[in-house]
Amino acid sequence: MSKAAVFTGVDTPLEIRDDIEVAAPAAGEVRIKIGASGVCHSDLSVQNGTIPLPTPIVLGHEGAGTVLEVGDGVTSVVPGDHVVLSFDSCGSCANCTAGVPCYCDTFLARNLFGRQLDGVSSATDGSGGDVATRWFGQSSFAHHAIATARNTVVVDPALPLELLGPLGCGIQTGAGSILVALDVRPDTAVVVFGAGAVGLAAVMAAKVAGASTIVAVDLHQPRLDLATELGATHTMLGGDDLVGELVAATGGGAHTAFDTTGVPAVMKQAIAATRMNGKVGLVGVQTGDLVLDSTSWIGKTLVNILEGGADPHVFIPRMISLWQDGRFPFDRLIETFPLAEINEAERSSLAGGVVKPVLVMAS
């Protein structure tokens, strides 16, 4: 039996249960002992009903742990390997073979429904009922999880597992969007809307890219203060009349704007604050329709980005290397909690407290 935090209904606390039976790995699958798992905004969007999912389900998709067992055909990992889990992909469609598995033909089916492609669950509860446990191919708010070889990235066993989980989604999304999807160039101006984990990862990545002006916008001053420490050259409290200030701060408009909020009014600010021939990257769960007038986006490129546009098997090692070199201090975003305090961790994050909660599993 495995302990897990189970989601049972919208706007209800996650239920810690110790009667979850996780199946043995099938062909192509890997059974993981989870050491730690980050809490991502996508998990919270399920809990508040923005992303509707059938219940019961185990959420969590920023897991890190140790391989316990592999299924038939798995050769890329072996029992005992330390791994970071990211999103799942097929490995054979045109986008996967082109190195952009985040746009896999089966991305939605593999990652957003909590079940295998055939609709089967990977776990049951004490009464024998199905529990969905394939959220983003892992469901890592648990002591044990089933993943696939495709979404399992081997890392150095000397590295601290409690820090690495967020590299699989939130940190990857922020940093990858800047360094991969938007390909920020040196000596350019970048504006980041939202200074949560994704936005602060983008700020750090913009500094890595050599951007000369990096503006962070958020509603919480402590997060803006942290953004300054991590590389932002300017910060602004969010509001209704920022576009003029942003255009002035960036010397005529941002070359790259990056919105992490999903709020249409903020997305419009991002577009308006971008100069012609600039790029606007959009991530996160959008909270409403984005309606644009006929002139606001003339000459601008709008990109809706999944997972930073990155291949986890390439980009996670790159982030780790940058961190080891002291150039990407993502560990400063993290505060750890035991699994039993998951609801408290989420409340703190939503209130603008802890930036990136990470749940550490008991041994």
Q: Find the CATH number of the domain harbouring 278.
A: 3.40.50.720
Lookup result for tokens 């002591």? 143
Please give the pLDDT value at position 117.
86
Q: Is 97 part of any domain? A: yes
Please give the pLDDT value at position 241.
87
Q: What band does 363 get if pLDDT is binned at 50, 70 and 90? A: low
Q: What band does 284 get if pLDDT is binned at 50, 70 and 90? A: confident
Q: What is each CA distance from 114 to 24, 123, 147, 286, in whole angstroms?
A: 17, 11, 12, 20
Residues 6+ apart with CB under 8 A from 149: 28, 29, 30, 70, 74, 75, 76, 77
Please give the pLDDT value at position 171.
98
Distance CA 151, CA 327 (A): 26
Number of C-beta neighbours around residue 112 at 10 A: 15
- Whether residues 59 and 9 share a domain: the answer is yes
- Whether residues 148 and 181 share a domain: the answer is no
Please give the pLDDT value at position 114.
87
Q: What band does 294 get if pLDDT is binned at 50, 70 and 90? A: confident
Residues 6+ apart with CB under 8 A from 256: 178, 182, 184, 188, 189, 190, 191, 206, 211, 274, 278, 279, 280, 281
Please give the pLDDT value at position 54.
87
- Return the minimum-mean-pLDDT range out of 76-80, 116-120, 355-359: 116-120
- Whether residues 23 and 59 share a domain: the answer is yes
Rg of the chain taking only CA atoms, in angstroms = 20
Q: What band does 250 get if pLDDT is binned at 50, 70 and 90? A: very high
Please give the pLDDT value at position 356.
97
State the residue range of the domain holding 190: 171-306
pTM: 0.96
Q: What band does 233 get if pLDDT is binned at 50, 70 and 90? A: very high
By CB neighbour count within 10 A (0-12 exposed, 13-18 middle, 19+ buried), where does 106 fall? middle
Distance CA 143, CA 7 (A): 15
Distance CA 329, CA 363 (A): 27
Compute the mean pLDDT over every residue in the chain, rounded to the nearest whole number: 95
* Residue 363 or 79, more confident: 79
CATH code for the domain of 344: 3.90.180.10
- Whether residues 335 and 288 share a domain: the answer is no
- Whether residues 180 and 161 share a domain: the answer is no
Residues 6+ apart with CB under 8 A from 300: 271, 274, 275, 276, 277, 278, 279, 280
Please give the pLDDT value at position 118.
84
44's enclosing H/E stretch is: helix 41-47
Q: Has residue 99 got a pLDDT over 90?
A: yes
Mean pLDDT of 278-289: 94
Q: Is 60 part of any domain? A: yes
| Amino acid code (one letter) for 220 | H
How many separate domains does the chain show?
2
Q: Is 247 part of any domain? A: yes
